[in-house]
Amino acid sequence: MSNGIGSDDSDDGDTATITRTKPKVKRPNLYRVLLLNDDYTPMEFVIHVVERFFHKGREDATRVMLHVHHHGVGECGVYTYEVAETKVTQVMDFARKHQHPLQCVMEKK
């Protein structure tokens, strides 16, 4: 009975359904969420953003902020597409609301 061919519901004998044998295991595409450096956003604000939206502790958040400050760009986290997109929107909305030019982007891993 597991030859992958099953009859359909109406069972009139002229159609069949091919069923899957192997379990389908697919890795999701992952995206880095990055902060970009600028000359105006206060360091304290960036630390707060990393704590609030990326659930880092104070020390990790400070490390991320300083990395961005010194290297121009830095990773806050890695997420599936929809989660990454939501993070970017949340950070950009929050920065805009506080009138800071902070930029947040995502890139495929």
| 42 scored as a contact of ligand TYC (CB under 6 A) | yes
Taking a C-beta distance cutoff of 8 angstroms, is the pair 59, 102 a contact? no
Piece of 1-9, 24-32, 63-71, 76-84 that binds ligand TYC (CB under 6 A): 63-71
HSE at residue 55, side-chain half, CA atoms within 13 A, is 3
| 68 scored as a contact of ligand TYC (CB under 6 A) | yes
| 41 scored as a contact of ligand TYC (CB under 6 A) | yes
Alpha carbon 60 to chain centroid, angstroms: 19
Least Cβ distance, residue 83 to ligand TYC (angstroms): 20
Q: How far apart are CA 36 and CA 33, in angstroms?
A: 10
Residue ranges in contact with ligand TYC by CB under 6 A: 35-39, 41-43, 46, 65, 68-69, 102
